[in-house]
A and B are shown apart, each in its own frame.
Chain A
């Protein structure tokens, strides 16, 4: 593939929609061509900025109220005795109260206010250390995730230490992830590819470096660097005892995604 061929397919490439030979050819060209690498980075940053712009006028809409109205409408279509209806209303009232708590919790969570910290980042840190729920070969439910994500044998010059494991990453709703350990005597880290799409871990921990967005924090002396994979749009992270800068450096190579 030459520059022209790459640029003709650049959108499909950054969207993660190229497969097989086309994907291999694009990856090979991108890794060998500084100009196309720069252009692909610019396109990814531009797409991210467009997404932010299109989300900018959503404002505050009460989901709890909308959900309650939808649920009541469904219930009203179903025959129910008066007593059952009262019970349902009581449950609905409790759900509204719970939803209000969730809204408050979400705000604190989003802003990384204790005790919530940065829930996504904390979950990533936990996923790097917790024992796996299922070995790689024994998780048929996660085949789809593994089909998309194969931890490479080396990452940013660091070799994979052992096979990746499937992890259940405990965000609020649960999500699955693949993890693999990389490193040498100098630097060791865990890379995590999750199936969680559309997450923005933290407003306060967001940093921009060279036009790329990262979410960083330190938990129990371990740096957590998370980012959105431009290919799958899902949340990925590196967790390690190295400095945030070293992890970002290693994560740069991961942003092109295996």
Chain B
């Protein structure tokens, strides 16, 4: 398994120093694989930083660290999870450097898996808005952007990074139960807000929800 991506200095000798040499990516292979995930990587950076210029900067730094840490990536492990972990490290380092404290965690959410509030029935929204409905898209993004970081980060790693619960837990260094709890609350919140949106815009189906 690749470890601690992008968080330390140059680690080209990592594999041999560990006495367990593994096959790593060449720069050309890295570039090809990055092409596959560039869009979700950029979208995740946008939702993490909420500012375009900063998002581009985050992706740039992530690519640099990816290049620099190629020796720590083991071929055959999930490249996507590795890159999104680097992106998250870069993001967290930025926050720390700028002296911004991560948003506080509600103690109630620390009790995992037991969800006293089930998610609302999404069928209440009725027909989903067309992909050309940019107002719906904006509503979704605004709802995500408005979430506290503790919910927003796992949500975007899940929805845009396609990371599994276990990969998110590893990336954020929190228990998997906490990941489930935070994802549940984030997605419940999204559903509630979009049900309101659907009601206001006449999508909502009668009797649903």
Task: List the interface of chain A (C-beta within 8 A of B).
Answer: 7-8, 10-12, 15, 17, 38-39, 42-43, 45-47, 49-58, 61, 63, 66-67, 69-71, 73-74, 77, 95, 99, 102, 106, 141, 172-173, 197-198, 211, 233
Q: Are the C-beta atoms of A106 and B35 separated by less than 8 Å?
A: yes
Q: Which residues of A contact B165 (CB under 8 A)?
A: 12, 15, 17
Q: Are the C-beta atoms of A172 and B32 separated by less than 8 Å?
A: yes
Which 7 interchain pairs have the tightest Cβ spacing? Answer: A53-B140, A70-B63, A53-B137, A70-B64, A56-B137, A74-B67, A46-B122
Q: Are the C-beta atoms of B159 and A42 separated by less than 8 Å?
A: no
Q: Are the C-beta atoms of B128 and A173 separated by less than 8 Å?
A: no
Smallest CB separation, A136 vs chain B (Å): 19
- Interface size, B (range): 35 or more
Contact residues of B between 27 and 70, Cβ < 8 Å to A: 27, 31-40, 42-43, 46-47, 56, 59-60, 63-64, 66-68
Smallest CB separation, A255 vs chain B (Å): 17
Smallest CB separation, A179 vs chain B (Å): 21
Docked pose: A71 CA to B65 CA in angstroms? 10
Mask, B166-203, CB within 8 Å of A = 1, is: 00000000000000100110010011000000000000
Q: Are the C-beta atoms of A57 and B46 separated by less than 8 Å?
A: yes
Q: Are the C-beta atoms of B160 and A66 separated by less than 8 Å?
A: no
Smallest CB separation, A211 vs chain B (Å): 7
Q: Which residues of B contact A141 (CB under 8 A)?
A: 76
Q: Is B97 an interface residue (CB 8 A)?
A: no
Docked pose: A141 CA to B41 CA in angstroms? 27
Docked pose: A42 CA to B59 CA in angstroms? 33
Q: A46-B128, A58-B42 are in contact. Are A66 and B31 (CB under 8 A)?
A: no
Question: Which of B38, B43, B56, B129 is in CB contact (< 8 Å) with A49?
Answer: B129
Docked pose: A215 CA to B85 CA in angstroms? 31
Q: Are the C-beta atoms of A55 and B160 separated by less than 8 Å?
A: yes
Q: Which residues of B contact A15 (CB under 8 A)?
A: 158, 165
Question: Which of B31, B122, B141, B162 is in CB contact (< 8 Å) with A43?
Answer: B122
Q: Are the C-beta atoms of B134 and A49 separated by less than 8 Å?
A: no
Q: Are the C-beta atoms of A233 and B123 separated by less than 8 Å?
A: no
Q: Are the C-beta atoms of A8 and B115 separated by less than 8 Å?
A: yes
Q: Is B4 an interface residue (CB 8 A)?
A: no
Docked pose: A73 CA to B43 CA in angstroms? 24
Q: A53-B140, A54-B156, A56-B134 are in contact. Are A11 and B10 (CB under 8 A)?
A: no
Q: Which residues of A contact B80 (CB under 8 A)?
A: 197-198
Smallest CB separation, B168 vs chain A (Å): 11
Q: Which A residue sits closest to B28, measured CB to CB?
A: A95
Q: Are the C-beta atoms of A74 and B35 separated by less than 8 Å?
A: no
15 pairs, A vs B, C-beta closer than 8 Å: A8-B118, A11-B184, A39-B122, A46-B122, A51-B160, A53-B136, A53-B141, A54-B140, A56-B141, A57-B46, A63-B34, A69-B64, A71-B27, A173-B32, A233-B162
Q: A61-B42, A198-B37 are in contact. Are A54 and B128 (CB under 8 A)?
A: no
Q: Is B119 an interface residue (CB 8 A)?
A: yes
Q: A51-B160, A53-B136 are in contact. Are A11 and B183 (CB under 8 A)?
A: yes
Q: Which residues of B contact A55 (CB under 8 A)?
A: 39-40, 43, 160
Smallest CB separation, A70 vs chain B (Å): 4
Q: Are the C-beta atoms of A74 and B118 separated by less than 8 Å?
A: no
Q: A50-B140, A57-B46 are in contact. Are A198 and B40 (CB under 8 A)?
A: yes
Docked pose: A89 CA to B79 CA in angstroms? 27
Smallest CB separation, B186 vs chain A (Å): 10
Q: Which residues of B contact A11 (CB under 8 A)?
A: 119, 183-184, 187
Q: Which residues of A contact B191 (CB under 8 A)?
A: 46
Q: Is B87 an interface residue (CB 8 A)?
A: no
Q: Is B144 an interface residue (CB 8 A)?
A: yes
Docked pose: A7 CA to B46 CA in angstroms? 32
Q: Are the C-beta atoms of A39 and B162 separated by less than 8 Å?
A: no
